Amino acid sequence: MVRFELSEPKSLSEACSLLAEYREKAKIIAGGQGLLPLLNHRQIAPNYLVNIKGLPDLEYIVSDGNGHVRIGALTTHRAIEFSPLIKKRYPLLAKMEQVLGCVQTRNWGTIVGNLCAASPTSDPAPVLIALEAIVRVKSVRGERQIPLNEFFTDYLKTALDPDEIVVEIQIPQLPPHTGAAYHKECIRATDSPIASVAVSVTLVEGLGTVGAARIALQAVGPTPLRAREAEEMLIGKKVQHILVDEVAEVAAKKACPISDVYGSAEYKREMVKVAARGALIQAIKRAHVA
């Protein structure tokens, strides 16, 4: 039986103080969708759980004066799925939430909790990396910002120090003529991905060339993977000259999957090609109308 002491801080500062005191002996719990399975399977055995679900002022989706959208740490997947602001500014994010687990999971689980669990099959992670999101973290020592691309360090591990807590996600305003897409290969739509790819493409106005691109792979490595060589193939290319299959082939070379119940490593690499091709085609189409 797993035994732990449950703490329920009344403020963010109190939560930070508890983490500073307990450090590696503590885990944060909010929705618990990622944490409880780890506890049940004895993969972790913390001495303390710090329950932040009741903390005030950490559940919000707002646009700030710089054009960024800020998402509080206790914002649920369901809130993001139905947010008018998210649907207007980042429709891909809202659409992705529709295929993230069942409705009960989306009703209770938080997007920040999903990221902090650092599961290699997370749906939000590659999408938010493609959107150049960052996370703001806090501790008794102060605050810092971490680009989401640098947040995941290994299997189930993040760049967070033991005394730090993620307080919000920040997503920058997308440049004009930017399109983004997410393609997930899976057995059922709400299952974990066998392989998935998120792509964002920004076109240079009036030229029809690619000015910027981000390609993030998921479920084919211990962390999300940036396919930078494939991204570089797109920069400066006329849209009509892009060889989508070649870009997908190069993206798949970045993958380092393992064989498991979902398929062999070779099969998963092929699925990366399928997902990359589908996401790239869709992102280019959306960039044309953005």
The CATH number assigned to the domain holding 101 equals: 3.30.465.10
The answer as to whether 127 is a domain residue is yes
Q: Report whether pLDDT(66) > 90.
A: no
Residue 95 lies in a domain: yes
What pLDDT is attached to residue 101?
A: 82
Sole residue written with tokens 């801080």: 9
Same domain, 67 and 137: yes
Counting the structural domains of the chain, the total is 3
| pLDDT range class, residue 287, cuts 50, 70, 90 | very high
What phi and psi, each to the nearest 5 degrees, are found at residue 211? Answer: -95, -30
Let me know whether 46 and 81 are in one domain. no
Tokens 């999101």, located at residue: 133
Quick one: pLDDT at residue 1? 58
Percent of the chain with pLDDT over 70: 99
Judge whether 122 and 109 are in contact, CB under 8 Å: no
In a shared domain, residues 122 and 165: yes
Domain boundary among 51, 69, 88: 51
Confidence of residue 95 (pLDDT cuts 50, 70, 90): very high
Q: What is the residue type of 39?
A: L
Shared domain check, 113 and 45: no
Q: Tell whether 40 and 90 lie within a shared domain.
A: no
70 and 155 share a domain? yes
Alpha-carbon span 170 to 205, nearest angstrom:
26
Residues 75 and 165 reside in one and the same domain: yes
Residue 153 and residue 207 in one domain: no
Statement to judge: residues 234 and 187 lie in one domain: yes
Is 150 found in the same domain as 233? no
182 and 249: one domain? Answer: yes
Q: Give me the pLDDT at residue 3, please.
A: 80
Is the pLDDT at 174 greater than 70? The verdict is yes
What digits encode the pLDDT tens for the residues 119-131?
999 999 999 999 9
Whether residue 56 lies inside any domain: the answer is no
Statement: residue 17 has pLDDT above 90: yes
Tally: H helices and E strands in the chain: 11, 14
Q: Looking at this protein, which amino acid is placed at residue 224?
A: P
| Greater pLDDT, 102 or 225 | 225
CA torsion through residues 13, 21, 110, 1, sign: negative
Q: Which residues of 232-249 are buried (b: 16+ CB within 10 A; e: fewer)?
A: ebbeeeebeebeeeebbb
Output phi, psi for 240, to 5 deg: -70, -15
- Domain of 40, CATH number, reads 3.30.43.10
Residue numbers of the domain that contains 226: 178-289
Mean pLDDT of 103-108: 86
Lookup result for tokens 């999971």: 105
Q: Is residue 200 part of a domain?
A: yes
Q: Give the mean pLDDT of 265-290.
A: 95
Per-residue DSSP letters for 268-288? HHHHHHHHHHHHHHHHHHHHH
- Alpha helix (H) residue ranges in 4-152: 12-22, 35-40, 77-82, 84-89, 91-97, 103-108, 111-117, 124-130
Last residue of some domain: 144, 171, 198? Answer: 171
CB 133 within 8 A of CB 106: no
Instruction: Assess whether 25 and 87 both reside in one domain.
Output: no
Q: Two tokens at 284?
A: 């280019």
| Residue 145 contacts residue 133 (beta carbons within 8 Å) | no
The pTM for the full model equals 0.95
- Give the C-alpha separation, 97 to 49, whole Å: 27
